[in-house]
Amino acid sequence: MSDILPACGAFGPDRVHRLPVRVYYEDTDFSGIVYHARYLHFFERGRTESLRALGIHHSELAAAETPLAFAVRRMAVEYVQAARVDDILVVESVFRPARGARLMISQRIERDGEVITTAEVQAVCIDNNGRPKRPPRDMADRWRDYVVADG
């Protein structure tokens, strides 16, 4: 069993991270349609796995000499279509140019190439007291190589 690893997605040559997710019954409301708040979970998984693919792990950030974490400061979500139980979705995450402690990420969820929902996310690197902190240079350098300019 130790050979089986959880899905973590991957970056493509276009610098877009893609994470496949399946919609389970627990993700839906009584009608079998994905409950609106569950999309936030899918987006979070996409962001976490895109950082993990760059070698940035939340557990290591928390255990560092100067502990850091990420917090979502702002998120604009647009629901375009409904996803349903058993759908296979792909969460796409694109790093945008960052400033200071802020990390900007554009995300969308697709089913069979059609957009289901989109999100523009502003996350902030924070210390244990919740104060914004610039990310360490090595971390910023890792995601800088995957930044896609706006537009």
138-142 long-range contacts, CB within 8 A, separation 24+: 139/56, 140/98, 142/54, 142/55, 142/56
Contacts of 110 (CB under 8 A, 6+ apart): 89, 90, 92, 116
Instruction: Confirm if 83 and 33 have CB atoms less than 8 A apart.
Output: yes
3 assigned to active site: no
| Annotated catalytic residue within 29, 86, 127, 145 | 29
Catalytic residue positions, numbered: 29
